[in-house]
Chains A and B, each alone.
Chain A
Amino acid sequence: MKKKTNTLLILALIVGLAFHGSAIFFTLESTYDALIHLFFADHYASSWFDPWEYRWYTGFTVQSYPPLVHQLIGILSYIGGLKFGMYTVALIAIVLFITGAYRYTLLMTGSRRIAGYGAVMAVFSSTFVETLHIFGQLPSVSALSILLHAMTEIYLWIKTGKTRYFITSATMLAVTVTSHHVTPLFGMVFFIAPLMGMAVMDAAREKVASYKALTFKVFWGTTLQHFWRIAKFGGTAIFLLVFCIFPYWYNSKRNPITQVAIPHGSRDNFLEITSSGLVFFLIPWGVFLFILPYFFYRYFSKRYVFFGLSFTLLTILGTGGTTPIPRLMLGEMAFNILTLDRFTLWATIMALPIFAEFAYRMVEGDLKTLIQEKFGGVYHRVLGGLIAGGMLFMVLFTMTLGYFRPSQPAKIKMLPIVNFLGADSHDSWRYLPLGFGDQMAWLSAQSGAMTVDGNYHSARRLPELTTRAIERIENSKFRGVEGIGSLQQFLTVPEKYNLKYIFSNDKFYDPILYYCGWQRLQQLENGIMVWEKLNVAPIPQIMPKQDVPTIMKIMWGVIPLTTVLIAIFVNIQMIWVRLLKSRKTPVHSFMKLELPYNKFPSKLLTFSHWWALVVLICIGYGMYIFYVKNVAQLSPNNVVESYYDALDFKEFSTAHSYLDPEDNIDIAQYMLEVSVTDGILSSYAKLDSLGIEIYDETENSAKAKVATRWITPLENVFNNDYHELVKRKNKWYIKSKKVDNDIPPDQLFTANGTTYYNHGRRKITTQETYHEDVLKQPVLEILSAKLVKYKGQYSVIGELQNVDNTPADVVIKATLYNDDDKELANYNAKHQIKHKLMPKETTTFKINFEGIAWSSTKDTLPPTFDPDQFTPVSFEERPTKFNLQSAGNTANTDLYKHVALQNLKYTDQGFEGVLFNSGVQEVTIPQLIISYYDENSELLWVDHKFITEGVRIQRKQFFNYKPLALDSLEIISSSLENCFVNGLPNKAIADKIFPDRKLIHGKQQTQPFKGKGYDYLKFEINSYIGNPK
């Protein structure tokens, strides 16, 4: 028989390359993982043998991920850059996958025709589309493809015992191991084990006349005959798995993953969190869902029974947290570390041959005949069209998912940032990107500068990060309070990490940056705002590094590519033979096992129809629930929810459509009213939870109490709002609220002020800044400082003044000691201080001692997080003394002081006050710093309150503040002895600059108020301006 080139395979390759090959240029860079691999590739391109990478997480080792794909991209990058390398490797992976699917199908079915179908189905399988175009898991795809190729060889080795097949299978397995470690590890269990079972089964089948005669006894006998081949291969596989990536195992032993479990969508209950269900269940399965009964029917036939078991297992494991079974099977530990989507991926890949077989039977086989007989030819065509259409729809839907629901921020031009980092020694400090998504890896790959963040959380070493269940600090807002809490630690004590620059692509983070004492430096031409922190030392020249033995470095650098070279060398002859058909090769034994496909079981067809109906009903029900929940004006509850959703996503015209039309507020007026309200809730908040309580509901009216919890960068805001709802023409509406009619007196007014500019380096030079260009540090004076204990928590409070003639940026750090002068803790002032002071301005401050969250009590990780994101340091001993180190640096921004306290009265609800903005900048978030004093005007406590709405120019803003009860406050130490300013003792400064200070001024500026444990208090105002003009 003359062998013909398989036209379907060629077709699949051409279509696959054209379709996936052109699509990757639009999808790959916005996938979750691709850019991470690019960063690793950049590492290998610049230092092939040294595994230590300084740029992420204050240093980590790349031996924490198998290197083959990264090294391939790295080598290819010498030809056409990193992205060229990535696309080339992706194209290779596509070819490997299609051919792999072909060979796997051929092995399973023994029919070249069906194998051709398999190749075509592989091109359009939604699971492959998702893995490549949405997840960007290049190593995983490559490893899986090679594993598929290896399967034929493994089968032949077990079956024939020819050394040639042993060598080919071992070389291919080695390549799989070096490209991805999890694939061969689980592949052994889920793919290779059933494959061996099938090989033995086939061998046993050859001994008897029919499958019926194939008893367990015969099978067992054959197994024993083949035992040594199985053992030999198994041993080799384990050896390869250990040896080829030995440095990886060595590193896992040395640096065990301490990361707490990071929530992953694949572990969710797919019925509850439908978005996870879509991405991790519906998309990968796609139309396969309808044909599940056929898969099980075929896989539980005698020949495939081991695959059947494996397939069932994979299907169940892939359901994540929907059922408790995966958790029970894997155990709590593995369940929380593994991402379970890979099981679904494997299950769907495993189903490919059977699906191809189904397609074959449907298109030209016995199923076609059966359906035509039973239901007629038209029905067959409609059914076929539906299946093909469904497949096509899933592919298009998956492909465009990233377009309609972008998982990443818009593409950022990195060049301005790379240039900024390269200029003026900015890379002598660490930086932190905010709101970059996975593109942060691409930035890191292009720059030599270091960041405290990173995008490969298994390699983290800082306890600040490993103890938090966040992927990156960069997107901390999506992890709510916990994420923001982690970010705040880095912002408050940046000098610990030599962190000086922040690139903000999300203005959500701006307020916390401001209140932690950061200042805007400039806006780059790509719109990224650069923030900087003063008083941070550059990264030391010598940095800690965890070295590994040279042999490990050589193994890591040499083995992966060698496995590829050997595999190519060994298999090239085979490929040559197959492609050119130059030599006659014997037909493999499995080719004889092709089934005749002459009788499709009628019962199965009927069952499949019922099953499809059930699936359709489930989908229909899901859509109905979705509809009921989302139709905005169906019930009072829906209208309130939709209204708040619209506000949260800033869809103001939608929000307006929910307002009572009889209030006659036109859209223009509404937009105008919305646009003038600024503040933390309208500009910087993310709605976290919405509690709607409907009461007094009648036929046509209701009242709603809406308890909202907003995540803001500063703290959680709890708000209670009351709405009146009316029903008109079967639709519910919200009654609009009154707006403030206040108008300022002046149309045009003038304001004068002092502004500052610092040249930085006056001489353009690459050398260290000249001595005469270095500004003197402004002198501060600490007026009072106390260590207090309030509600079981230690704080250092005090007051300081900028006594110099230039504005100062203030950094203040407190260290606590016990009686034996043992250091217990240190921390910086976070937001309970005015960080920018004009000459002679005073500020009160409070320093709380924050520990690294949950580092010591990992097992008691709270399931819901503390609203104030605060983990107090647990003190083993009682602190009795403290040391204060403050530093002033010349400030020239954020010096707006024109917010006045215009009215204040005490009522049952607390202090009711009015802020008035008399200047020319709109204050977005005003902050009150409230200090409490005893009868001798000695400072007792410092508290703060953020006001949720901004103060517009020449306008008022009302606030309410409930004073605290301080009767339980304990002053432990009150001393100015160990207080230092710019490294000099505070007393010397006081004596020199303010020898005759008028101490009475403090008392003259405080509000007498007899409260619990105090006699005076003072309100100070700190203003964050969102858009300085």
Chain B
Amino acid sequence: MDGKILYILAFILLGCSNKKEEQTTSFTKPAVEIISNTTNSIAGEAITLVFKTEANVNTIKLYIKNAFGSTFLSPTISENENIVFQIPKNYTRIAGPCRWKLLLEGHNIQEGKFDVATNAPKATYIESYFGPRSVTAGYNDYSMLTIAPTDAFDNPLDDGTKITVKYQFQENIDETEIETESFFAFYNVRSTLKSGRILVTAECNGTTSKELATIVYPDNATDFTISGTSAHNYADGNQIITFTSDIIKDKYGNIVTNGTLVTFVIKTDKDAYLYTIGTTINGIAEAKTLHPDEAANWEIQAFVTGAAESNTTNFTFNAAIKDYPVHFSKGNRNLDIGPFESFMKQLIPDGLLTQLDIYDANGTYIDTKKTTSKNGVCTIFLGEHFLEDGDYILKLTAAGITKEFRKNIHGDTVK
């Protein structure tokens, strides 16, 4: 089976090779003379190649190849034994060498080349890029402006073409001249010490590029100071304390970007680390948090993490509630706690948390009940479904003041 296939293949191959040999033997080169020989041209100009030959005009073809690609051309006009080839626009507009070959029945009978030069005088276009779009103030950073000037047909202009770069920052407009190399030119616009916006543009042969910009952002923040303010300094668990920074700046005196995150870390006298967060507007960060509900001493320090920190400021909260009464009723099942009186003997605003931890007579923990004050008082009812009659230890905590009671709970109140 395999043998059969091999035989068939061999025959096919033989058939192919025979035909080729026949072709080569029968060809004789006709005489060809070039009449109009263009060797140099400018992009966009029409190019015509004219040949004189006695060969069969109908089978003659011109093969051309340049940066655009390659193609076969048929003669456009043929008169007085002259054959004329019109080079298509796509080929005459591309700068660079263009090679041609005259072919007759697949045989090369003559070849040559012409050069197309960039058409700088007609018009110049500028393609420009500028990036990154933002830099940091200081000495390190820069954005690069890259310019590729081209002629009307998108051919890059010759190396050494002069380009004027202009850049503006605040009142200053600077100008510098650079030259293209390998068809493009670049210029590094260095960052400034002040934050702001740098605008750049480039000009070449009287054509200007579009406006491009980079934003100079401030550098990292430097140390700053903070302060805390509140309506009063009593620990009522209701008022809001505000921490404010001064204007945070970088080392060049620029105000840090809006939105820079500042963490205000609060260390309490019980060694708890609390925090609140502010973001800057015009360099000032403001953060808020709630007053504690028991006397406390807070140490506050703010950070722009990794970059800057503030002074440490202290805030002392005095106890708003010195003491509160507790009244037991209904067989000690009902606890009326309060009224809670604040620093001016006023009733404390609603929402003070009161926690009752219940232990049995042996001190074994049973449960916790939490409630919040309303109109200055809290009520906790221990239903008989909840606690059977008996002796209990009740620990009551509110506003940082803990009271302990040992009570006998009895009586059925729900019928």
A interface residues, Cβ below 8 angstroms from B: 696, 698, 701-703, 724, 726, 735, 738, 740-746, 752-754, 756, 771-772, 774-776, 783, 801, 803-807, 837-842, 895, 897-898, 900-905, 914, 916, 918, 954, 956, 992-994, 997-999, 1001-1002, 1004-1008
Contacts and interface: CB of A to CB of B under 8 A. Distances in A.
Given A754-B258, A807-B259, A1001-B305, A745 B274 contact: no
A900 B288 CA distance: 8
B411 interface: no
A724 B240 contact: no
Contacts of A745: 238-240, 349
Interface stretch (B21-29, B65-73, B103-111, B367-375): B367-375
B314 interface: no
A158 to B, nearest CB: 48
B307 A918 contact: no
19 contacts: A701-B414, A724-B386, A740-B351, A740-B372, A743-B349, A743-B351, A771-B131, A805-B134, A805-B136, A806-B257, A837-B261, A842-B305, A900-B288, A904-B274, A916-B289, A918-B288, A997-B306, A1005-B305, A1008-B273
A1007 B272 contact: yes
A841 B240 contact: no
B133 A776 contact: yes
Nearest to B351: A742
Interface in B240-289: 240, 257-261, 263, 265, 270-277, 279-281, 286-289
Contacts of A775: 133
Interface stretch (B83-91, B163-171, B212-220, B335-343): B212-220
Contact of B292 (A903, A918, A1004): A903
Contacts of A918: 240, 276, 287-290
A1006 B273 CA distance: 7
B240 A954 contact: yes
A840 B256 CA distance: 11
Contact of A840 (B260, B374, B383, B386): B260
Q: How large is the interface on B (under 10, 10 to 19, 20 to 34, 35 or more residues)?
A: 35 or more
A501 B244 CA distance: 40
B245 to A, nearest CB: 13
A901 B275 contact: yes
A838 B259 CA distance: 6
A981 B19 CA distance: 64
A999 B289 CA distance: 27
Contacts of A703: 385-386
Given A726-B414, A838-B259, A902-B292, 19 more contacts: A703-B386, A745-B238, A745-B349, A776-B131, A776-B132, A801-B306, A807-B259, A840-B221, A897-B261, A897-B279, A902-B276, A902-B289, A903-B292, A905-B270, A905-B272, A916-B290, A918-B240, A1005-B263, A1005-B275
Contact of B305 (A740, A840, A897): A840
B140 interface: yes
A804 B373 CA distance: 47
B351 A741 contact: yes
A467 B274 CA distance: 46
Contacts of B328: none
B164 to A, nearest CB: 21
Interface centre among B134, B301, B309, B373 (most CB of A within 10 A): B134
Contacts of B129: 771
Contacts of A905: 270, 272
A902 B291 CA distance: 8
B220 A1008 contact: no
A741 B287 contact: no
A953 to B, nearest CB: 11
A921 to B, nearest CB: 14
A78 to B, nearest CB: 41
B307 A994 contact: yes
B133 A754 contact: no
B342 to A, nearest CB: 13
Contact of A993 (B136, B221, B281, B304): B136
A998 B307 contact: yes
Contact of B273 (A696, A743, A839, A1005): A1005
Interface string B361-381: 000000000011110000000
A998 B223 CA distance: 11
Given A742-B350, A772-B212, A998 B309 contact: yes
A904 B298 CA distance: 13
A1001 B303 contact: yes
A1001 B273 contact: no
Contacts of B136: 805, 993
Contact of A900 (B140, B217, B274): B274
A516 to B, nearest CB: 23
B276 to A, nearest CB: 3
Nearest to B281: A752
Interface in B301-349: 301, 303-309, 349
What is the predominant secondary structure among interface residues of chain A facing chain B?
A: loop
A993 B292 CA distance: 39
A956 B133 contact: no
Contacts, number: 167
Contacts of B212: 772
A742 B372 contact: yes
A1007 B275 CA distance: 11
A20 to B, nearest CB: 59
A488 to B, nearest CB: 28
B272 A903 contact: yes
A770 to B, nearest CB: 10
Interface string B56-100: 000000000000000000000000000000000000000000000
A804 B414 CA distance: 65
A998 B221 CA distance: 12
A-B complex: 6 closest residue pairs judged by Cβ atoms? A742-B351, A900-B276, A918-B288, A754-B259, A805-B217, A805-B257
Contacts of B281: 752-754
A771 B144 CA distance: 14
A1005 B303 contact: yes
Given A838-B279, A900-B275, A1005-B265, A724 B305 contact: no
A751 to B, nearest CB: 9
B395 to A, nearest CB: 13
Contacts of A1005: 263, 265, 273, 275, 303, 305
Contact of A701 (B221, B303, B374, B385): B385
Contacts of B259: 754, 756, 805-807, 838-839, 895
A703 B130 CA distance: 73
Contacts of B290: 900, 902, 914, 916, 918, 956
Given A741-B351, A754-B259, A838-B260, A900 B301 contact: no
A776 B304 CA distance: 23
B337 to A, nearest CB: 13
Contacts of A783: 306
Contacts of B130: 772
Interface string B194-232: 000000000000000000100001101100000000000
Contacts of A756: 259
Nearest to A1005: B265
A746 B132 CA distance: 46
Given A900-B288, A901-B274, A904-B274, A741 B373 contact: yes
Contacts of B140: 992
B397 to A, nearest CB: 12
Contacts of A994: 220, 306-307
Contact of B134 (A776, A904, A993, A999): A776
A1025 to B, nearest CB: 15
A842 B305 CA distance: 8
Nearest to B286: A752
Contact of A904 (B217, B272, B287): B272
A1004 B301 CA distance: 9
Contacts of A726: 414
A900 B287 contact: yes
A99 to B, nearest CB: 58
B265 A1004 contact: yes
